[in-house]
Structure 1
Amino acid sequence: MAGTRTIGQGPARRLYALDAVRISAALFVVLYHYVGLSRAWELDSTEHLFPALEPLALYGWLGVEIFFIVSGFVICMSAWGRTVGEFATSRVSRLFPAYWAGIAFTALVLLVLPEVWRMGGWTDMLVNITMFQGGLRVPNLDHTYWTLFEELKFYALFALVIRAGVTYRNCIVFIGLWTAAGVVAPATDFPLLHFFAIPQYSPYFIAGVAFYLMRRFRPSGLLWGIVGCQFLLAQNYIRGRMATNLGSELGDRLPIWPAQLIIAIGFLVMAAIALGWLDRIQWSRLSTIGAITYPLYIIHMAAGITLIHHFRDKMPAHALVGTVTAAMLVVSWLIHRFVERPVSRRLRSAMRSGMEDIRRNTPVQTSPPRSTPPSTVPAQRRDRVVEPDLTRR
């Protein structure tokens, strides 16, 4: 993911540990879809096919929660010092090229093998290209796309911070306001508040932002309190997420503690990254592995489950899951190498040109000069908040 470099003394260093977390979360979701779900196998349960893997795979959907923590961390990091236009350019050029390639790949598989899902109408697919189908209640071509709309809502909210200026203080204000909205929204009948509060997932985004503040500045009681509060708030929605992903009967029957443990591990790993404990991880291959995480997430579900369904009687179950996973990884690398990288560059260049046109053709409004009140403190010192650089320690 763009922006996985951290500030410190000397040149910026890539946080390879973030790449490791992202690919681990993605493969956990893949495990859930290929092993935990029985739809591809046309069975009531996959327990007898994967007696050792199935109990873990049933909790694989929690990879999404880990993704959201990473997203909060990375977005706060990548937005620092940028304008709203630069932030929008970065996000659009990062998300859409691989997403468009994923739509084309998934549509092709579903057209050739309409066994598990049918593609639906062309109008729905065209709306999917915008990534806004979640707001229009248009079906997703691939069910994994729902998380992208939640990400877009987070980006829209954080753009307000960027507009005000990304500072320690403004991030804390943002955290406080969004936490309050997430607590109040479920008790109100105000749909717009609930839409943007995202109470089920905001604790993970917020925790990610707090972890980055620890990384950029230093840990503090306030930041640890924020992280602890978000962890506790997230507990309220775990049972509901289990019912959504596993069905109400199985979701109520399975113990909740493994989900709580997995989320706790995700928080602890991100805390270790924030504190610099994992900076020793410097395996350069992780940058490539991390780069294919997003394409893998986009393409693996509908296409992968369809392929498993098609070949389920022709290969042993474990070999089939391994083969399809490997195929999805290869396709993800091809999308990254031959679509995402070149198209992202061109899209970024086009958007920068457009932003420059906006600036060039927007008149600059100048305020009338005001008299400076007498003071012994220079005006620029009074008006500017100077935050200490605590990253050099």
Structure 2
Amino acid sequence: MNLSVALSDHHGVREKSSRLDWLDGLRGVAAVAVAVHHATFVYTPHAREALLQWFNPGFWGVMVFFLISGYIIPASLERHGDLSRFWTSRIFRIYPLWAVGVAALVVLAVTGISELRGELRRFDSVTATLSHVTMMQDLLTVPNAVNVLWTLSYEMAFYLLVAGMFAIRWHRRSVGTAASLISAGLLLSLLGPVTFFTGAIGAPAAVAVTTLIMAFAIGSAYLAGPKLRKAALLAGAVLALMLVTLNGRLSPWFGLSILAVMFTGTVLYRAEHGQVHRRTAALTAGSVLVIVIVQGWLHPDETEGGPIAWTISMLSSAVAFGFGMVVLRRRTPKWLSLLGLTSFSVYLLHPLVLKVSDATVGRWREYDNPIPLIVFLLVLLPICWVTYRYVEKPMQQQGRKIIQRAASR
């Protein structure tokens, strides 16, 4: 997606053992699953349609991303023990590749290879730019410049929530947080999409307010005193929760379910480290899983592929993450480690490669042709290794140097 980046930072501060390598590799598999999901729309549409009746690889991939982020991000913050180090790590982890992706998108638009999304052109340039720079565009109902960027909005909302909870020492209340979020989502599940900022004030005002509060919240980690920092971080957390609940492109139940899934990852991390009883963690994870599945049956129109695919994909994501937890301390195959290193690049850049393919190779509508799909992957993966090697890795190292210099003062 995370899509999220997903988007964790354990590349940046990696334990010497291989305990996180399996989750890294799993995230790589999830990134490829999302890429294949989108590529089948172009190359094998009939096979895609048949598969989606039973399994949605894109949904499976982003749920795996969110679980892994939930497992790692709070642990990263607590390991740093300092919000300024946490935000520095996040910024140098996400923004360099994000900037490369945006630059590539602009080049494609300027050269006429691929136009910007039509809905995005309705917004003025300042609104569109700021909404994407904050990475909150999907929660501001501003169309994503690249389709996969929507998961970054939920990643950023999660960061703001975790940072706010850390500021008031609520960061270990993961069980209660996951339970509250999934319960609130269930209560709101009968409501349709609800807008707050964009409906009442207008997108430019919503983006301006969001930008100011986020700058206040993140900047306070570097500059403010303890009391002002706490107030700023709480403001950021409240903003994130309000946008997910009241203003996102996704329905409130869906947005809150995503956050609940992420905090479920945190609950499992705490159980593994003896901070939560394993029985409590299992009950929490099981409850979130069941309620998310039920939500898919209550809202079939909002599930790509339908309730059956939603159920199988959600269950499969839980099984995959559980497998990653079981084998955490075992040696990771080298190919899987390499795939994990490139996961963010695969996730973020594959839509751009598909745009180039659209403009050159074209699409298959009358019949399925798996050969271009295979070629697409063979082209994509080396490109992503290059961007990891020459963009992601150097910038992560630079972020670590800044953190180390700050710690030595």
TM bin, normalised by shorter chain, reads 0.7 to 0.9
Shift of 1:125: 6.2
SS at match of 1:131: coil
**1:12 and 1:219, CA in 2 relative to 1: closer, same or farther beyond 3 A?**
farther
CA distance in 2, matches of 1:240, 1:108: 42
What is the aligned partner in structure 1 of residue 9 from structure 2? 2
Shift of 1:226: 0.4
The answer to whether the 8 Å contact 2:154/2:259 transfers is: no
Q: Which range moves more in the overlay, 156-165 or 144-153?
A: 156-165
Question: Which ranges of structure 2 fall in alignment gaps of 5 or more residues?
Answer: 1-7, 197-238, 246-254
- The reply to whether residue 60 of structure 1 matches residue 67 of structure 2 is no
Q: Deviations over 1:110-165 (max 9, x none)?
A: 44354575586555663334423334443321011011001100111111232234
Q: Deviations over 1:219-239 (max 9, x none)?
A: 522111100111012113335
Quick one: which amino acid aligns to residue 107 of structure 1?
V
Quick one: which amino acid aligns to residue 10 of structure 2?
G
What is the aligned partner in structure 1 of residue 395 from structure 2? 343
- The reply to whether residue 140 of structure 1 matches residue 144 of structure 2 is yes
**1:130 and 1:20, CA in 2 relative to 1: closer, same or farther beyond 3 A?**
same
What is the aligned partner in structure 2 of residue 195 from structure 1? 243
What is the aligned partner in structure 2 of residue 160 from structure 1? 164
Structure with higher Rg: it is 1
CA distance in 2, matches of 1:335, 1:239: 40
Q: Deviations over 1:315-357 (max 9, x none)?
A: x83221112222222221111111122233335555777x78x
CA distance in 2, matches of 1:136, 1:52: 34
Quick one: which amino acid aligns to residue 199 of structure 1?
L
CA distance in 1, matches of 2:397, 2:14: 22
Q: Deviations over 1:25-82 (max 9, x none)?
A: 11111121111x2xx46xxx821x7798676775433311221111111113222242
Q: Deviations over 1:197-243 (max 9, x none)?
A: 53231231122112212222275221111001110121133358864
What is the aligned partner in structure 1 of residue 106 from structure 2? 107
Q: Deviations over 1:245-281 (max 9, x none)?
A: 64xxxx4xx5x3333122112212323433x345324
What is the aligned partner in structure 1 of residue 73 from structure 2? 75
What is the aligned partner in structure 1 of residue 376 from structure 2? 324
**1:303 and 1:225, CA in 2 relative to 1: closer, same or farther beyond 3 A?**
same
Shift of 1:190: 9.1
The answer to whether the 8 Å contact 1:203/1:234 transfers is: no
Q: 2:286 aligns with which of 228, 246, 260?
A: 228
- The reply to whether residue 264 of structure 1 matches residue 311 of structure 2 is no
- The reply to whether residue 283 of structure 1 matches residue 283 of structure 2 is no
Question: Which ranges of structure 1 fall in alignment gaps of 5 or more residues?
Answer: 361-393
**1:200 and 1:59, CA in 2 relative to 1: closer, same or farther beyond 3 A?**
same
The answer to whether the 8 Å contact 2:92/2:399 transfers is: yes
CA distance in 2, matches of 1:332, 1:52: 29
CA distance in 2, matches of 1:201, 1:159: 18
Q: 2:354 aligns with which of 304, 310, 313?
A: 304
Shift of 1:13: 3.6
The answer to whether the 8 Å contact 2:140/2:243 transfers is: no
**1:76 and 1:50, CA in 2 relative to 1: closer, same or farther beyond 3 A?**
closer
- The reply to whether residue 32 of structure 1 matches residue 27 of structure 2 is no
**1:176 and 1:242, CA in 2 relative to 1: closer, same or farther beyond 3 A?**
closer
CA distance in 2, matches of 1:85, 1:166: 18
The answer to whether the 8 Å contact 1:19/1:287 transfers is: yes
Higher share in helix? 2
Higher relative CO (Cα under 8 Å, sequence separation at least 6) belongs to 2
- The reply to whether residue 88 of structure 1 matches residue 80 of structure 2 is no
Percent of residue pairs identical: 20
The answer to whether the 8 Å contact 1:66/1:263 transfers is: no
The answer to whether the 8 Å contact 2:31/2:346 transfers is: yes
The answer to whether the 8 Å contact 1:203/1:233 transfers is: no
What is the aligned partner in structure 2 of residue 23 from structure 1? 28
Aligned pair count reads 338
Q: Which range moves more in the overlay, 51-60 or 323-332?
A: 51-60
The answer to whether the 8 Å contact 2:71/2:267 transfers is: yes
What is the aligned partner in structure 1 of residue 295 from structure 2? 237
CA distance in 2, matches of 1:51, 1:173: 39
- The reply to whether residue 212 of structure 1 matches residue 269 of structure 2 is yes
Shift of 1:89: 1.6
Shift of 1:96: 0.9
**1:332 and 1:57, CA in 2 relative to 1: closer, same or farther beyond 3 A?**
farther
Quick one: which amino acid aligns to residue 266 of structure 2?
V
